[in-house]
Amino acid sequence: MNRTGLAAELRRFWNVLQRHRFAMLLVSLAALFAATALVFTFEAYGNRLLAGIVVACLFDLVLLSAVNVVCDTRRTMAVAISFAVPAIVCNLLHVITRSTVVAVTSNLLSLCFISIVVVLVLAFLLRHEQIDANMICASLCVYLMIGMIWSLLFSLCAVLHPDSFVYAYTDLLERPEMAFGAESSLNPIYYSFVTLTTLGYGDIVPFSPPAKMLAVLEAIVGQIYLTVLVARLVGLHIAHGSSGSRPKNSDAQD
């Protein structure tokens, strides 16, 4: 294959990635959530390092998929890569070294990057005027990434202030960790989405003032996002439905 043919194939492959970028991000997020459910299975067989590596690799896959989402221009690509690449490296290093400094650095870089992605995807949703598969996938990705943002925030709380959370049934279960990237990284994701959906099981309870306020803010942001999203989708559906029916009415009148 000559250079022209190779360039054409690469361009076609890039166009496919861009066309399905939100769906790819959604699949990578779903894979991360499914993998965290198997973490304690790995722990049961004593393979904690493998559990941490699996979750870290899938989280890095989420970051790479998010880079693909925001690579519309060279500027956004440069910003995305400058945050994503160090976050990916630090995330893998944290699993191996278990260093607090590396954990905080990884969480901060991931937090900044995912926040940027959420803002850019929200801008896409506000510009997009047609309800299609891309808009639905993008809307779901934003909701799930909001949960990821707060899981990183809760993890930072637990790393900087180890007594930020109180765990129920401590007489029956070993005290779990809340540091994201460890073998028990299910806990911050689990607690974040339980709070985001306002289920509030009560097995993990915020204790420090920062943890309490973060939990309140996540519940508020989750409810506001769902309310605004549903209102926008309904409004777009009504607008497109009415605009599509006008020509028929005008023809009937003529």
Distance CA 90, CA 166 (A): 28
In the chain the domains, ranked by start, together with CATH numbers, are 3-253 (1.10.287.70)
Number of Cβ within a 10 Å radius of residue 10: 10
Task: Report the candidate in 213, 180, 177 with the shortest Cα–Cα distance to residue 195.
Answer: 213
| Stated pTM of the model | 0.81
- Tens place of pLDDT for every residue, the chain, 254 residues? 556 665 666 667 656 666 778 888 888 888 888 877 776 666 555 566 676 777 778 888 888 888 877 777 778 778 888 888 888 888 888 777 777 788 888 888 888 889 988 988 888 888 877 777 888 888 888 999 999 999 889 888 888 887 888 877 654 444 455 555 544 567 888 889 999 988 878 788 888 888 899 999 999 999 998 888 888 777 777 776 665 554 444 444 44
